Chains A and B, each alone.
Chain A
Amino acid sequence: MSKLGTRSFTLLQTVTSVGLSALAWAVTGVRPIWNGSQPSDRQRIYFANHASHGDFILLSACLDEKERARTHAVAAADYWGKSRLRRFIAQDMLSSVLIHRQWTDEAQNPIAIMLSVLDKGHSLIIFPEGTRNMTDAPLLPFRSGLYNLSMARPDVELIPCWIENMSRVLPKGQFVPVPLLCRVVFGAPIALAPGEERRAFLDRARQTLLALNPRPQTHDAEKSNPVFRKTSCDHKSLEHRTRSDIRHDAQRDD
């Protein structure tokens, strides 16, 4: 993580970020919709729905240059750290922060890593679903990271960002994007209420993000989708998890 340091972007990272933002615009005509928040200098954690590798490119394309240069996406080390090429793309080109979803060594503690980046004054982009959503449900239940970060750094603004259509532009397993129009809706910041429990907070954050979707699906995928039903019945067990359980929260393949 020393790469991030106090230095801003390297030349390669700047070129990559400008190039990808231009590409994102050419393919998706992306534009931000500030619906409850405004671009600002405040340190932020942008949290968004996740269905595609293109998600964070689209989100950062919506930020101004200065903000983009200090905003780092959090990505899974077990996917992006797998080969030297992936690691090069993720860290040297995209300046992502790699975290381990399954970790045993305290040095790999994802919360500690993310906090160290925040403490350098950087902003973060995180995907609280923990993996790319491949189901028909609009949004998977949130993992705990958002809560833990908010507990530890209450001054950092949490901005919900709904990324529209990106799952259709670049679905999982595809590498050539289909040109479709995309928007990113930035909502009002949310904050942890005094004494709010983890699960209650995560559900509230999830609902806030869902409510930003400008074109909610007409058929209620949440109710009809078995994947979602299963996880939401797990509510109780999720609620009673302790912090030490989080490390076993590992998910599928990315």
Chain B
Amino acid sequence: MHETLILVVGLAAVLTTASLVAGILSWRAPKPLSSTLVNLNQRINAWWVMVVAITVAFFFGRSGMTILFALISFAALREFVTLTHSRRSDHWVLLGMFGLIIPFQYWLVWTAWYGLFTIFIPVYCFLLMPAITALHGDTERFLERVSAQQWAVMISVYCVSHVPALLTLDVPGFEGRNLLLVAFLIITVQGSDVLQYIFGKLFGRHLMSPKVSPSKTWEGLVGGLVTSSLLGALLSFLTPFSPVQAAAVAFIACLMGFLGGLVASAIKRDQGVKDWGHLIDGHGGMMDRADSLVFAAPVFFHTVRYFWT
């Protein structure tokens, strides 16, 4: 409880500072505000909402987290499927993705049925979904449709469900405090996004992959990764890790997060859109915010599971 209090106060302090800085900037800037400032204000406001939502879920423990991330999966899957090609004959498969796969996967998380949790989607769903599509007999662009459906479920349901699944791990000497692992993962990965953005804006010279994303630079990546690893070390009091271990784990998670953002940008580029959706003011869609978490969560989960349980 002690750590939780520090966390909530710390986050509130960071966001208050951000709001104050943005407020002063907006107050002194010429009116009407530039689009950058408007966007900054929107982003910070959205951060308040997201932090409050996660904090509320936090106090409801495992059920709160499971429900919150099931809803995040719903929003992310909706954005993903909207962007990809589907045909009328896919209707039942698509319905099953929302109506069966999401609830069942999160039920597995909630009941901590690890064995089925890890294979339900990659084995059973991946084999049965194309089978259902084939039974419908519509072979037009079959492989493309089937691949898009599987990747959608993989990214937005399977990967995301690894965040609340952290609550099912039995780390010796860390009983009853697993929620703090979730907080550690979210804060380092999302913090890394923000830090990479700031370092990219301040020092960014060399584009990493101009064809994929016009905003990702080497300077941003290095600066963001170094500082977020330090942030991880600072937060080691939340975790079963030593400061050095925490920095290493944070580094891996944030590197995966970076790759997630890159892949998400590539998909958006391919589909000809700038944002995944319009759910979160200033940020775009749920996937725009969660793309890094999506890649980081399974790797973080298995790192902790392998080395600490």
Chain A contact residues, CB within 8 Å of chain B: 29, 31, 165, 168, 171-172, 174, 176, 178-181, 215
Contacts and interface: CB of A to CB of B under 8 A. Distances in A.
B95 A176 contact: yes
B198 to A, nearest CB: 30
Interface of B: 74, 78-79, 81-82, 86, 88, 91, 94-95, 98, 272-273, 277-279
A77 to B, nearest CB: 26
A134 to B, nearest CB: 8
23 contacts: A29-B277, A29-B278, A29-B279, A31-B278, A165-B82, A168-B86, A171-B91, A172-B88, A174-B91, A176-B95, A178-B81, A178-B91, A178-B94, A178-B98, A179-B74, A179-B78, A180-B78, A180-B81, A181-B78, A181-B79, A181-B277, A181-B278, A215-B272
Contacts of B91: 171, 174, 178
B278 A179 contact: no
A179 B272 contact: no
Given A179-B98, A181-B78, 18 more contacts: A29-B78, A29-B278, A31-B278, A168-B86, A171-B88, A172-B88, A174-B91, A178-B81, A178-B91, A178-B94, A178-B95, A179-B74, A179-B78, A180-B78, A180-B81, A181-B79, A181-B277, A215-B273
B160 to A, nearest CB: 16
B71 to A, nearest CB: 11
Nearest to B79: A181
Most buried by A among B86, B91, B94: B91
Most buried by B among A168, A171, A215: A168
B73 to A, nearest CB: 12
A165 B94 CA distance: 14
Nearest to B273: A215
A165 B279 CA distance: 17
Contact of B82 (A31, A174, A176, A181): A181
The 7 closest A-B pairs by CB, nearest first: A181-B82, A178-B94, A180-B82, A171-B88, A179-B78, A178-B95, A181-B277
Nearest to A168: B86
Contacts of A172: 88
A174 B79 CA distance: 21
Contacts of A29: 78, 277-279
Contacts of A181: 78-79, 82, 277-278
A199 B279 CA distance: 41
